[in-house]
Structure 1
Amino acid sequence: MVRLERALCAVVLVALVGGCTSDDKEPTFSEPAQSSSAAPVGSAPAWTEPAAYSYVLTRGCDPNAPLGTYRATVSGGAVSTAERVGAPAASPSASAEVDLGPVTGQEGEEIEVPTLGQLTEMARTATEDGAEVATEYDATDGHPVKVSINVTDTPDGAECWTVSDYQV
């Protein structure tokens, strides 16, 4: 839980520092290729986050090698349960006296799963801070289906989240 907060703080800090050294460019909005169930920002219906829903969140920009997949349930506007899917839960050795980082390695780091409202708010905040942000929405009800945030000057610096199995 704390790791996502730290990661988000790092994203915001990098965006702020990058904004201080930029050359007054307007934020860049880029839309990735749309899938048949996704719609660009202007054509998706407005989405209001329901108080209760479930979804699967995949973290990582490479669909063939995701960094983690999580099944989440939201109740009362907050994530009530989140479990990692497709990877065994790892735990540190009982003899470990110090925290040496994520027990599953950098690529398997556990995250605090955000609600879809929090995910869209992260994208909005990153955009305001000058990051390159791409968001896709479901054409049927407007919920987010993909968010990509890049606060670096390189294409490999993006952080991506894909939403599937959304059920109200």
Structure 2
Amino acid sequence: MRFAPLLCGIALVAAVAACTDEPPAASAPSPTAPASTPVWHEPMNYAYVVDRRCETGPSDGIYRVTVRGREVAAIERTDGKIASGEEEIDLPTLGGLLELAQTAADDGGEMTTSADPADGHPVAVSFDVSEGAGERTCFVITEYAVQG
């Protein structure tokens, strides 16, 4: 019976704890994590409009890009301008654009991307492959539409 005093002590503490006048504390509501942007998977067929500009700088061209089978099928300049002093660029798919930005980052350059919170497709991609020269390449993506 050497455990009897110990058991009585535990019973006494439990009885005193149960007889308090204070109601049990309500648990604090747990904070909900903000919804994260979904992971984007490049569809087989889609179209998008891209403006080659950084922040509020001037546009270097606005293009509609059509992708079929994850390959660029058509590029149409839509801003009515004609490239002067430079050749028209070959625009990649959105997946290719993200790869270009990642390659720049892997090579020590800077890269930033923004994604649509609804489906995760890129809405802005910029990168700088030069060291300190500040020759940033930027793309603002709009009118993204998956096609059948």
User: When the two structures are superposed, what TM-score results if normalisation uses the length of structure 2?
Assistant: 0.68
Question: What CA distance in whole angstroms lies between the structure 1 residues aligned with 2:113 and 2:92?
Answer: 16
Task: Name which of structure 1's ranges 150-159 and 69-78 shifts more when overlaid on structure 2.
Answer: 150-159
Given residue 164 of structure 1, which amino acid in structure 2 is its aligned partner? T
Asked if 1:143 is matched to 2:121, the reply is yes
Deviations for 1:77-101, whole angstroms, at most 9, x for unmatched residues? 1111110011245xxxxxxxxxxxx
Question: Does the C-alpha gap of structure 1 residues 85 and 122 become closer, same or farther in structure 2, counting only changes over 3 Å?
Answer: same
Structure 1 stretches of 4+ with a deviation exceeding 2 A read 151-156
Question: Mind listing any 5+ residue stretches in structure 2 that lack a counterpart?
Answer: 1-34
Asked if 1:104 is matched to 2:73, the reply is no
Question: What CA distance in whole angstroms lies between the structure 2 residues aligned with 1:44 and 1:62?
Answer: 22
Aligned length in residues = 112
Which has the higher Rg, Structure 1 or Structure 2? Answer: 2
**2:36 paired residue among 16, 23, 43:** 43
C-alpha displacement at 1:157, in angstroms?
A: 1.7
The residue number in structure 2 matching 1:94 is none
Given residue 104 of structure 1, which amino acid in structure 2 is its aligned partner? S
Question: What CA distance in whole angstroms lies between the structure 1 residues aligned with 2:91 and 2:104?
Answer: 18
**2:50 paired residue among 54, 57, 65:** 57
Identity %: 43
User: When the two structures are superposed, what TM-score results if normalisation uses the length of structure 1?
Assistant: 0.61
Given residue 129 of structure 2, which amino acid in structure 1 is its aligned partner? V
The residue number in structure 2 matching 1:71 is 64
Question: Mind listing any 5+ residue stretches in structure 1 that lack a counterpart?
Answer: 1-41, 90-102
